[in-house]
Chains A and B, each alone.
Chain A
């Protein structure tokens, strides 16, 4: 006779899992690096931005999405006063660490707020090394040892060092499009900006190069504050912490990317991100 008292149960050793836990730490909300308040921008009589209010958080990636002509690139260019270079005007307040950028020297603003453009634009007659060092040399730096250190650090941060370390004297135009874009990012980083603006930085690149740029953006936020304009909503979802949806020059909705892409508050946002727009 056997009762249930003799179960031959073997015990599994509980697995110790030492992998990183992406959910464990609830990070505090970062401080605002830049604040845009009641920003209006014009090209002649065209009213391109209407009362835009937006916070750019420190060490965060803010993605700006929206259909063509919604004002996203205009807003990006207002952030480092490039909008004025294109012949536009802007009203309102944009602060960088509390200082209104319209009260600061525009060149200094652009040094503190770097920009990466849609098409890779390395200086074609310069070597890879000189492309990265160009900004520093322009600021008077002549010490080759320091220049070499900065070039290496920036190429490493741009995830390009391993690919070009043995060919630093080659022309910046001789490498692939994806490498050229990362070279441009390294060049931007060389002058030690606090904020990096990216205007469709991967739209001219193949999928592999795009993935590298996206991963790079994700990693760069450790040291920089990043604002990226993209037509590609999936890219915005993949790389950003917060997303702002622009339409007809207005901010329709802004918030945490996870929230905006799963439960948008505004119908226009929902229609745009689900492809039902218009």
Chain B
């Protein structure tokens, strides 16, 4: 006899996965709109944020109901607590997609910056982190979660480098300030997305192993 509680948990997980897919698609589309100067795509990212927001509200309510009515314990309790945090993290990722899309709209109005900035690599690593964090949640895979954690420092370094390069470019040529500021904004948003992907991965480890690995990566990732 399958408990209706288990069905409710599966339903919550399905909604979180759906939200993860929307958030991931939002970031990918926002970056693509910047890359291709596609203002229609950027606007669609901004418009679709309401879907993520609606899911967040629904998931919040589902978590409250599960906690109040089902008295979950052990893995179930950890899953529900983690789901609440992941829900919030994914909603924030949706907001960062909107921020990047807004920068893409601003950037599309100006001449493209003829300067090498490593946003392509930063975008690629961030997307990998986000994809792997959501996959690790889907498959309850703490090993995959750990692969996300080690990349957070890579993104921090890239962000520092990009901001430094763009600041230097602005000092050299004040005419590029508007474009450079938008790209700095994009870089900072990607850095936040990577932080949130790291949070999601940490929550997956918490669900699977009942272990809090926040602020403690070097002790929990062998060889790091």
- Chain A: interface residue total (CB-CB under 8 A): 34
Q: Identify which of B20, B31, B35 gathers the most chain A CB atoms within 10 Å of its CB.
A: B35
Contact with A along B45-72 (1 / 0, CB 8 A): 0000000000000100110110011110
Contacts of A23 in B (CB 8 A): 11, 15, 58, 61-62
**Contact A9/B35 with A4-B117, A22-B11 known, Cβ cut-off 8 Å:** yes
- Per the bound structure, the CA–CA distance linking A147 and B194 in Å amounts to 66
Contacts of B14 in A (CB 8 A): 17, 19, 21
- Residue of chain B at shortest CB distance from A237: B69
- Per the bound structure, the CA–CA distance linking A216 and B124 in Å amounts to 50
- Per the bound structure, the CA–CA distance linking A215 and B8 in Å amounts to 13
Which 10 pairs, one residue from A and one from B, show the smallest C-beta to C-beta distance? A19-B14, A237-B69, A7-B35, A22-B11, A17-B14, A7-B120, A261-B68, A14-B21, A15-B21, A2-B116
Q: Given contacts A12-B21, A20-B7, list 4 more A-B pairs with CB under 8 A.
A: A7-B35, A12-B131, A15-B18, A15-B21
**Contact A8/B68 with A17-B14, A211-B3 known, Cβ cut-off 8 Å:** no
A19 engages B114 (CB within 8 Å): no
A262 engages B17 (CB within 8 Å): no
Verify if B189 is at the interface (C-beta below 8 Å from A). no
Q: Chain B binding site: helix, strand, loop or mixed by DSSP? A: helix
B69 engages A3 (CB within 8 Å): no
Minimum CB–CB distance for B179 against chain A, Å: 9
In A8-66, which residues have CB < 8 Å from any B CB? 8-12, 14-15, 17, 19-23
Verify if B119 is at the interface (C-beta below 8 Å from A). yes
- Per the bound structure, the CA–CA distance linking A258 and B117 in Å amounts to 53
B120 engages A21 (CB within 8 Å): no
- Per the bound structure, the CA–CA distance linking A3 and B120 in Å amounts to 9
In A193-229, which residues have CB < 8 Å from any B CB? 211-212, 215-216, 218-219
- Chain B: interface residue total (CB-CB under 8 A): 47
B31 engages A262 (CB within 8 Å): no
B4 engages A215 (CB within 8 Å): yes
A1 engages B116 (CB within 8 Å): yes
**Contact A234/B32 with A12-B24, A22-B8, A211-B3 known, Cβ cut-off 8 Å:** no
B11 engages A19 (CB within 8 Å): yes
Contacts of A17 in B (CB 8 A): 14-15, 17-18
B65 engages A258 (CB within 8 Å): yes
Contacts of A21 in B (CB 8 A): 11, 14-15
Verify if B112 is at the interface (C-beta below 8 Å from A). yes
In A243-262, which residues have CB < 8 Å from any B CB? 257-258, 261-262
- Per the bound structure, the CA–CA distance linking A212 and B61 in Å amounts to 27
- Per the bound structure, the CA–CA distance linking A152 and B130 in Å amounts to 52
Contacts of B58 in A (CB 8 A): 23
A9 engages B123 (CB within 8 Å): yes
Verify if A159 is at the interface (C-beta below 8 Å from B). yes
A6 engages B65 (CB within 8 Å): no
A4 engages B17 (CB within 8 Å): no
- Residue of chain B at shortest CB distance from A262: B68
In B121-153, which residues have CB < 8 Å from any A CB? 123-124, 127, 131, 138
In B78-119, which residues have CB < 8 Å from any A CB? 112-117, 119
Contacts of B4 in A (CB 8 A): 215, 218
B5 engages A4 (CB within 8 Å): no
- Per the bound structure, the CA–CA distance linking A3 and B118 in Å amounts to 9
Verify if A105 is at the interface (C-beta below 8 Å from B). no
Contact with B along A130-159 (1 / 0, CB 8 A): 000000000000000000000000000001
Pick 10 A–B contacts, CB within 8 A, sort by A. Answer: A1-B115, A3-B115, A7-B32, A7-B119, A8-B120, A11-B28, A12-B24, A15-B17, A23-B62, A262-B65
Minimum CB–CB distance for B66 against chain A, Å: 10
Minimum CB–CB distance for B35 against chain A, Å: 4
B7 engages A9 (CB within 8 Å): no
- Per the bound structure, the CA–CA distance linking A271 and B14 in Å amounts to 35
- Per the bound structure, the CA–CA distance linking A212 and B120 in Å amounts to 55
- Per the bound structure, the CA–CA distance linking A22 and B28 in Å amounts to 29
Contacts of B120 in A (CB 8 A): 2, 4, 6-8
In A158-186, which residues have CB < 8 Å from any B CB? 159
- Per the bound structure, the CA–CA distance linking A23 and B59 in Å amounts to 10
